[in-house]
Structure 1
Amino acid sequence: MPEQAELYDVTIIGGGPAGMYAAFYSGMRDMKTKLIEAREELGGRMLIYPEKMIWDVGGFAPIVCEQLIVQLDKQARLFDPTLVFGQQITGLERQPDGTYVLVAATGERHWTRTIILALGRGILKMAKLEIEGAERYEVSNLHYTVQELEPFRGKRVLISGGGNSAVDWANELEPIAASVTVVHRRDRFGGHEKNILRMKSSSAAVLTPYALTHLHSDNGETIGKVTISHVETGETDQLDVDAVIINHGLKSDFTGITEWGLNMDEWNVFAGGKLDTNIPGIFAAGDFVHYASKVNLIAGAFTDAVLAVNSAKLHMDPEAPRAAYVSSHNERFKERNRALGVVE
């Protein structure tokens, strides 16, 4: 290891909910922490839907996603971890002393004793609409995400897809749009049951099993009509639209991490109950990890982060406490409590 290299106790790869909470909790455990995020900001997958209402995080009922990101970001920075943005980690080199060097696609190198993989779904790319010429409408009224609700006010909106985001967008847009039509090629929808029931109970038109097959434009610049086709009978229908939103899934890119020798499938790394992977010193948290009792909620990502950090701490020091003391008895908070005027 070069003399000038700085060795960290834990390096977290990924700045979504799991990565941010891991950065905070590792500070509670007095670990020298680095977090590396491929984007230029924290938030992870939550950045895709900043105006979505989040209902299932303890203590917040509900909270706008953008506001939750702000709170998690602030919490993640509490113990001054080193934050690195704009670097996508691809390479891994194990050193003779058991530590690791993480290598970014751009060549930067990071030395660490342990690693927590909080990669979410990787570098996400929206699956594009497979209709010839569709890309020309991406600058007008063909959308792959909903960043703001207001542009859709009073519009006739068609949503193609049946994933969690499609259901959420339908529910968020239904109160403000002139009409919302959801087209899905299967009868079953993804997402939480309560949200699906809400969508089906609203004024939104839910058409299954149908697929979006043609886009029509009078001016060559915006979509004015669409053709949908029944998947089983081939029967077609035309609908007038002002905006089309596509939710045909996400393609993930984990780059060179798939070549590290981790036990994983297309979307997940498999871990034990201590969030340990098959490579010693490498742990995982959040959407990227799968284990027997996995809970696929943001709240579950926080628990993953705690378990992964505790395991990383014990990997470095088997004699360390198994978990951090609660905040009311944690030495790391005493000075901060005094600054807030809290009498101990």
Structure 2
Amino acid sequence: MTEKLELYDVTIIGGGPAGLYAAFYSGMRDMKTKLIEAKEELGGRTLIYPEKMIWDVGGVTPIRCSQLTRQMIEQAYTFEPTIVLGQQITGLERLEDGTMLLTAESGEQHLSKTLILALGHGVLKLAKLDISGAERYEVTNLYYTVEELESFRGKQVLISGGGDSAVDWANELVSIAASVTVVHRRERFGGHERSVRRMKESSVQVRTPYAVTQLHGRGDRIEAVSIAQINADGEPMHESEQIAVDAVLINHGLRGDFGPVVTWGLEKKDWNFKADEKLATNLPGIFVAGDAANYGSKLHLLAGAFTDAALAVNSAKHYLDPEAPQRAQVSSHNAKFTEKNKAFDAVEEGEGEA
């Protein structure tokens, strides 16, 4: 059966920022590349926050997450890697010659010399509001992410959560909504300090330590929310109070599941996979990048994911060919971009003439 399978130099599992950049950079290293994504679309975690503004990618001015996602995907296709969507890899078998046979949950198989695990937090699911009957409001005004900021214009919005997403949405919505109230179970917020300060200095009403205890609706729409101050055990300390709302936005984090990958023998540290400074795992030929990687100087930014991806690709290249250069030549001097630059210049000249 494996004789019919095409053999790849590197197979990247995961189509988020780290996986997409690894697909691009492996092309720079002249590697035969396949990327496999469990979902039917690329982008990973960035798909959850299409309206969010991204400020911290080097050399990129503030950009909507949806636009950044499109650009990352376009870049990933630069060297025409094989892209496979809708397959969750569950099985790994190392063959006698050292190549690895991957099996998807659906039964499809893939053959590769090396692997890069760009799994993020695994298969992501948004943590839902743990209140009985809350799901019936999801079709109307109970939200877990923001698709269009304009849909909240002039509305009374309550946000439950205290991480980056909750704080960022509060800052985005404060100039659009009629009012914004943020309810968080702890006194301290988990978002970036600058963003938290900006939120507290604005007209956002911050209630801590508080939790949503009940939803009050008519039909399939929420009209009010009960909140209560809570103690360290999460129990209400006083009687609840009601707040009239037009929209409720829940940001209680994401729950990830790596699935059967955790049975492959990879060494874990905390919740993700232990790696060395070259992004190598304890299993030969298997490397890790992005949020799934755990090493001492890990940088939890998109910029960190891109760096992880390049380091993992370089390590995979050296695993295959110890005599290969340590890294790819920079794009400004890389012959692989010569023809692409000519095509790009021709387009720019054509636009200038128009």
Same fold (TM > 0.5): yes
Q: Which amino acid aligns with 1:226?
A: V
Residues 1:185 and 2:185 are matched in the alignment: yes
Partners of 2:220 and 2:107 in 1: how far apart? Answer: 42
Residues 1:222 and 2:221 are matched in the alignment: yes
Alignment length, in residue pairs?
Answer: 341
Partners of 2:71 and 2:271 in 1: how far apart? Answer: 28
Deviation for aligned residue 1:266: 6.0
Report if the CA contact (8 A) 2:161-2:250 is conserved: yes
Partners of 1:137 and 1:327 in 2: how far apart? Answer: 50
Q: Does the residue aligned with 1:113 lie in a helix, a strand or coil?
A: strand
What is the root-mean-square deviation of aligned Cα atoms in Å?
A: 1.3
Deviation for aligned residue 1:255: 1.1
The residue number in structure 2 matching 1:255 is 259
Deviation for aligned residue 1:145: 1.3
The residue number in structure 2 matching 1:264 is 268
Residues 1:290 and 2:289 are matched in the alignment: no
The 3 A distance-change label for structure 1 pair 229 and 316 is same
Report if the CA contact (8 A) 1:167-1:195 is conserved: yes
Report if the CA contact (8 A) 2:160-2:183 is conserved: yes
Which runs of at least 4 in structure 1 moved beyond 6 Å after TM superposition? none
Q: Does the residue aligned with 1:335 lie in a helix, a strand or coil?
A: helix
- Among the aligned pairs, what percent are the same residue? 67
Residues 1:128 and 2:128 are matched in the alignment: yes
What are the within-5 Å matches in structure 2 for residues 149-188 of structure 1? 149-188=149-188
Give me the TM-score of the superposition, normalised by structure 1: 0.96
Gapped regions of structure 1 (runs ≥ 5) = none
Report if the CA contact (8 A) 1:100-1:111 is conserved: yes
Q: Does the residue aligned with 2:67 lie in a helix, a strand or coil?
A: helix
Report if the CA contact (8 A) 1:276-1:284 is conserved: yes
The 3 A distance-change label for structure 1 pair 318 and 159 is same
Partners of 2:198 and 2:48 in 1: how far apart? Answer: 22
Residues 1:118 and 2:121 are matched in the alignment: no
Q: Does the residue aligned with 2:221 lie in a helix, a strand or coil?
A: coil
The residue number in structure 1 matching 2:210 is 210
The residue number in structure 1 matching 2:285 is 281
Deviation for aligned residue 1:337: 2.2
Residues 1:339 and 2:343 are matched in the alignment: yes
Q: Which amino acid aligns with 1:162?
A: G
Q: Does the residue aligned with 1:223 lie in a helix, a strand or coil?
A: strand
The residue number in structure 2 matching 1:45 is 45
Partners of 2:63 and 2:261 in 1: how far apart? Answer: 33
Deviations, residues 138-180 of structure 1 (Å, cap 9, x unaligned): 1111111112111111110001111211111111111100000
Report if the CA contact (8 A) 2:143-2:250 is conserved: yes
Partners of 2:211 and 2:3 in 1: how far apart? Answer: 60
Range with bigger deviation, 330-339 or 196-205: 330-339
Partners of 1:132 and 1:335 in 2: how far apart? Answer: 59
The 3 A distance-change label for structure 1 pair 132 and 340 is closer
Q: Does the residue aligned with 1:19 lie in a helix, a strand or coil?
A: helix
Q: Which amino acid aligns with 1:299?
A: A
Deviation for aligned residue 1:41: 1.5
Deviation for aligned residue 1:64: 0.9
Deviations, residues 108-153 of structure 1 (Å, cap 9, x unaligned): 1010000001111111111111111111111111111112111111
The residue number in structure 2 matching 1:101 is 101
Deviation for aligned residue 1:280: 0.7
Partners of 1:6 and 1:99 in 2: how far apart? Answer: 12
Partners of 2:44 and 2:270 in 1: how far apart? Answer: 19
What are the within-5 Å matches in structure 2 for residues 25-104 of structure 1? 25-104=25-104
Q: Does the residue aligned with 1:21 lie in a helix, a strand or coil?
A: helix
The residue number in structure 2 matching 1:319 is 323
Partners of 1:244 and 1:340 in 2: how far apart? Answer: 46
Deviation for aligned residue 1:302: 0.6
Residues 1:305 and 2:309 are matched in the alignment: yes
Deviation for aligned residue 1:247: 1.3
Deviation for aligned residue 1:333: 1.1
Report if the CA contact (8 A) 1:252-1:267 is conserved: no
Report if the CA contact (8 A) 2:269-2:294 is conserved: no
Gapped regions of structure 2 (runs ≥ 5) = 232-236, 347-354
Report if the CA contact (8 A) 1:214-1:227 is conserved: yes
Q: Does the residue aligned with 2:101 lie in a helix, a strand or coil?
A: strand
Q: Does the residue aligned with 1:3 lie in a helix, a strand or coil?
A: helix
Q: Which amino acid aligns with 1:267?
A: W
Report if the CA contact (8 A) 2:2-2:111 is conserved: no
Q: Does the residue aligned with 2:50 lie in a helix, a strand or coil?
A: coil
Deviation for aligned residue 1:338: 2.8
Deviations, residues 183-241 of structure 1 (Å, cap 9, x unaligned): 00101112221111111111111100001001112x23211111111103334211111
The residue number in structure 1 matching 2:2 is 2
Partners of 1:311 and 1:262 in 2: how far apart? Answer: 17
Q: Which amino acid aligns with 1:12?
A: I
Deviation for aligned residue 1:265: 4.7
